[in-house]
Structure 1
Amino acid sequence: MKNLFLLYKPFLLFLGKFVLSYLILTIIYQSYLNRFDSSKNEVDSFTQLVADQTITVLTWVDSQSYSMPHLKEPSVKIFYHNKYISRIIEGCNALSVIILFIAFVIAFTGKLKNTIVFLLLGSIIIHVLNIGRIALLCIALYHFPQMEHILHGVIFPLVIYGVVFLLWVIWVNKYSNHATATTKK
């Protein structure tokens, strides 16, 4: 049994760090969300920020874009060309994607300074990409409403998760301790 543990120690350490950091961040995020009353259709402030920033981007294309609180659910309604196009719910704010990104980077340990800088820059990249993704999705849904399933369910998730995967590959190959260990061999 000890030999098995030693053989799989790097994987078990990775898995332990990933699960622990993911759980801690998820608990913190959930406690943040619990401050908002969904029975009163309250939207958390980060989701509201994402909606506001999306409207800012949309107004670059159409000055008649705006948002308003949804009266029947905790979400923000997005209007483009004065037409209700979509709603932004908590799941649209990409914080769960950022938590997943952070947990993976922490699990593949690197130098502290590199880790902090990469986590900050990567989180900003994911956030900005998410704002652009939502804005482009709204524009695409306005012009191609029949394509909602493929746009919302396939193409745009593929883009955001693809970028997260690319960031992970960059982290593992350039900045993690694994990268420095393999370059020394």
Structure 2
Amino acid sequence: MKSLFIKYKSVIKFILTFLAVYIGLSIVYKLYLNASVGSQYYPDYVTNLVAYQSEALLNTVGYNTEVVRHPDEPSMKLLVNGKYIAKIIEGCNAISVIILFISFIIAFSGKLKTTVLFLLTGSVLIYAVNLIRIVILSIGLYHYPWRSNILHTVVFPAIIYGIVFLLWMLWVNKFSNIGKKNG
């Protein structure tokens, strides 16, 4: 048994580090969500920000868009030309995806400066791609409402998780300690 631990030490270290960071950041995020109940930003600051930034982007590309507080649930209603298109909930703000991204990068750490810069750059890129994803989804739902299921459950998760996967591959192959050993 000891020989297995020695043989797979790097795998075990990766898994334990990933889980520790993921659980730690998830707890911090949950505490943030609990603390934002009743704040001036509804349903929470980041989701509120994503909703209004999505509204601004949609208005920029020529859609008359408005975001309003949902009266019955913790979400923001997205209206395009007065038509209720989608609701922006906490899960739409990409924070959970960024937590997953950060956990993986830290588990496959590289040099401290490189790791921190990649975490910041990657997180901003994921956030930006998420905004674009919401805009594309909203336009798609506006023009093709009968395609809502495939748009929301297949295409748009593929966009956000696709960018995360590409960032992970870039990190492992170019910047992590493992990528440098193999390169």
User: For residues 102 and 118 of structure 2, what CA distance do their matches in structure 1 show?
Assistant: 9
Confirm or deny: 8 A CA contact 2:42 2:48 kept in the other structure: no
User: For residues 103 and 154 of structure 2, what CA distance do their matches in structure 1 show?
Assistant: 24
Quick one: percent identity of the two aligned structures?
49
Task: Name the counterpart of 1:171.
Answer: 171
Cα shift at 1:36: 2.9
Deviations 1:106-140 (A, max 9, x none): 00010000000000000000000000000110111
Other structure's SS at 1:34 match: helix
User: For residues 133 and 97 of structure 2, what CA distance do their matches in structure 1 show?
Assistant: 14
Cα shift at 1:83: 1.0
Mapping of residues 9-158 of structure 1, within 5 Å: 9-37=9-37, 42-62=42-62, 64-158=64-158
Number of residue-to-residue matches in the alignment: 181
Unaligned residue ranges in structure 2 (runs of 5+):
none
TM-score w.r.t. length of structure 2: 0.96
Task: Name the counterpart of 2:162.
Answer: 162
1:102 aligned partner, one-letter code: I
User: For residues 60 and 81 of structure 2, what CA distance do their matches in structure 1 show?
Assistant: 12
User: For residues 14 and 37 of structure 1, what CA distance do their matches in structure 2 show?
Assistant: 35
Other structure's SS at 1:74 match: coil
Other structure's SS at 1:158 match: helix
User: For residues 4 and 75 of structure 2, what CA distance do their matches in structure 1 show?
Assistant: 49
Backbone CA RMSD of aligned residues: 1.3
Confirm or deny: 8 A CA contact 1:62 1:80 kept in the other structure: no
